Amino acid sequence: MARTREFDVDRAIGRATDLFWRRGYAETSLQDLLQELSIGSGSFYAAFGSKEQLYVRCLERYTSLQGSDLEKALDGPTDIRSAVRKVLTAMIEADLAEPTRGCLVVSTSTQCGEQPAAAERVTTAVRQVESQLAGALEQAQVRGEISPDKDPRQLARFLTTFIQGIRIVGQARTGREFAEDALSVAMRALD
C-alpha cells in the first residue's frame, strides 16, 4: 500500500520558487531543495520527478500569477496608457525595493539555457505577455485611444522587450531616474 504524501505540494512549490529565485537554478542543489522543503529524496522524486521538473513547475506558477496580474491591470476601466504606465511603474518599484530579486523569467532566460523545459517555459511566458498586451492594445485602438496607423502587435512586442530590459536594468541598480527616463520614452511609443 502506497504511503500518502505528508506535505503540501503547492506550499512546497512556493518555497522552492523562493529558493530558486534567491540562489538561481544552478546554485540550488537537490540537497538545498530537500532541506528547504523538509522532505526526503523519495518524496521529492515522487512529487516532482527532478530538479528541472520542479523548476518548470515553479516557473509555471510564477508566470501564471504574473499573467493574472497583467490581465487584471489591462482589463480594468483605465485607458491603455494609464494601465501600461501602472504596470511598468509597479515593475520599476519592485526592482527598486528588491534589486537582487528581479524577475524569475529574466533570471531563467539568462541562467537556464541548458534546461530545455525551462527555456521553453520562458518563451511561452514572453509570448503570453505579448499576446495580452496586443489584445489590450487592439481594444484600445478600437476605443480610439491609439492611432489607427499603429500596429498593436508591434507595440506589444516592443513593450514586452522593454519589460524584460527594465527588469534587467533594475537588477543592475541603475536607479529611479534611469528607469523613469526609459519609461517616459517607452510611453511615447503609444502616442
Low-confidence ranges of the chain (pLDDT < 50): 1-2, 4
Position 117 scores a pLDDT of: 86
Task: Tell me how far apart the alpha carbons of residues 166 and 153 are, in angstroms, rounded to a whole number.
Answer: 20
Position 1 scores a pLDDT of: 43
Q: Would you list the domain boundaries of the chain?
A: 52-188
Residues 6+ apart with CB under 8 A from 95: 101, 102, 166, 167, 170, 171, 179
Task: Tell me how far apart the alpha carbons of residues 157 and 184 are, in angstroms, rounded to a whole number.
Answer: 17
Out of 1.10.357.10, 1.10.3720.10, 3.40.50.720, 3.40.640.10, which CATH number does the structure's domain 52-188 have?
Answer: 1.10.357.10
For the question of whether the overall pTM of this predicted structure is more than 0.75, the answer is: yes
Position 98 scores a pLDDT of: 86
Position 102 scores a pLDDT of: 81
Task: Tell me how far apart the alpha carbons of residues 187 and 24 are, in angstroms, rounded to a whole number.
Answer: 32
Task: Tell me how far apart the alpha carbons of residues 91 and 183 are, in angstroms, rounded to a whole number.
Answer: 11
| 100-138 pLDDT per residue, tens | 888 888 888 888 767 888 888 889 999 999 999 999 999
